[in-house]
Structure 1
């Protein structure tokens, strides 16, 4: 399946044909379509700047995984960390939710840098850029670390937190190595800068970094090679990546599907893409599930991580 996806992406890239691509977390599912052939049931929007203004609190009824179930997975991950099998793992779960809005209304109202509605299957409103390629420069923007902006001295607390610093540094190192597979002259242009994002009834500060490298001039002919070499994204897996993915599969009680995969657009000369976090999925029986998670390290606090899982379940209106 991977090879087929790789060939399709390389093919459209070599033609300089503008296209949309949507790739699942484990690369087993994908959708690639020239923009001129895109069905009406698929909508996307990419904006570099969005407002963090909140008009009003939108109610979202949550039926999350129990604290006991979460603790079981958390404790298992801590054992793996203590055994040296992984240093950081992005643990995620799905939360059943109820809302008065349908997927299309959520897509239209959502305030986010990257928005995607995929038929009647899911809607994503992600704040996290994956990779961007302009000319022959590739950049990635790992996002790791979150705090409620209303907390006193929130900026200083998140940037001065040793657990958050270690977590973010490990992801930056992982992404530097990932970029080095296909690019050279890798540099960390910005390290741990803050973005303010709308999180429903609150505003969150999220910590990101910018890492860049240089590609060959014919990079458009190798879009498939580039994406496959970088997936799954380091910020939503952990390090070392291969072993961490195995551990997460053992401990997460569901299949991520397209959640934490990537979507993006090649416009014929440049590429922009996002990690599919902030993700609401509609099952065939009509039930809605919101998927969310956070990074676990040896310094993680069980109660705080469980709270973060639930805090990330929101509608960004």
Structure 2
């Protein structure tokens, strides 16, 4: 599906107040959209807080979970890190996430990973991938749009972990930057900005142990009948 087609379909269903599921890849080359009650027919299984199209419980007969990671060699990561530092110093970027694909081996299938993971957001897309995340990127409620930029994590078992993260000047600067960028992004589709919470701390349980993360809550007001243009809003 072309991205322009996705926008048109989302706007049409929004105007009809038709609930739908959508999935947009980073490059906007393979967007997916379907009516919410038809997601399973598209090979899409999801759980978003209490909203889910999956009825079956986790398979208790599944074997103990095992996971082996094969991270990028440190020298390769250092090369990328140095390039990022150079571009930041040149002023070509304010903030950049340096990430690499990491090979893993596990004894679980994609459906088993989906069933047994614990997260606010869970998604299984056929045999393509499984995704689970604690991060709410964008929410719309009562004609207001919210975003929750997340920056700064730390091992929760470290002494005074929360204070370490909150008092870190590097983390403060990074968080100020992402909040400013997200405020500007919301300004393209909404009005009357408000940072409702700044650098609040949440505890996240992961496969390798608990971490603390810092996030902020940013809110703007949408125009009346924003649903008629929801595809255009998402595209911005």
Provide TM-score, normalisation by structure 2. 0.90
What is the DSSP-based 3-state SS (H/G/I as helix, E as strand, rest coil) of the residue aligned with 1:94? coil
Contact 2:65/2:108 (<8 A) preserved: no
Aligned partner of 2:211 in structure 1 is 204
Is 2:45 the partner of 1:43? Answer: yes
What is the DSSP-based 3-state SS (H/G/I as helix, E as strand, rest coil) of the residue aligned with 1:93? coil
Q: How does 1:127-166 map to 2 (within 5 A)?
A: 127-166=134-173
What is the DSSP-based 3-state SS (H/G/I as helix, E as strand, rest coil) of the residue aligned with 2:170? helix
Contact 1:58/1:200 (<8 A) preserved: no
Q: Which is greater in Rg? A: 2
Q: 1:119 aligns with which of 113, 116, 126?
A: 126
Deviations 1:116-175 (A, max 9, x none): 000111011011101111121111111111101001000000011111111111000000
Counterpart CA distance in 1 for 2:65 and 2:209 is 11
Contact 2:65/2:107 (<8 A) preserved: no
Aligned partner of 2:5 in structure 1 is 4
What is the DSSP-based 3-state SS (H/G/I as helix, E as strand, rest coil) of the residue aligned with 1:224? helix
Aligned partner of 1:174 in structure 2 is 181
Counterpart CA distance in 2 for 1:82 and 1:180 is 27
Show structure 2 runs of 5+ residues with no match: 51-63
Is 2:190 the partner of 1:188? Answer: no
Contact 2:124/2:130 (<8 A) preserved: yes
Contact 1:58/1:201 (<8 A) preserved: no
Counterpart CA distance in 1 for 2:128 and 2:30 is 13
Counterpart CA distance in 1 for 2:29 and 2:187 is 24
Aligned partner of 1:34 in structure 2 is 35
Q: 2:94 aligns with which of 87, 98, 117?
A: 87
Aligned partner of 1:61 in structure 2 is 68
Root-mean-square deviation over aligned CA pairs: 1.3
Contact 2:146/2:217 (<8 A) preserved: yes
Contact 1:144/1:206 (<8 A) preserved: yes
Counterpart CA distance in 2 for 1:203 and 1:143 is 16
What is the DSSP-based 3-state SS (H/G/I as helix, E as strand, rest coil) of the residue aligned with 1:24? coil
Contact 2:3/2:31 (<8 A) preserved: no
Counterpart CA distance in 1 for 2:175 and 2:114 is 30
Q: 1:96 aligns with which of 78, 98, 103?
A: 103
Counterpart CA distance in 2 for 1:203 and 1:47 is 20
Alpha-carbon offset, residue 84 of structure 1: 1.0
What is the DSSP-based 3-state SS (H/G/I as helix, E as strand, rest coil) of the residue aligned with 2:119? coil
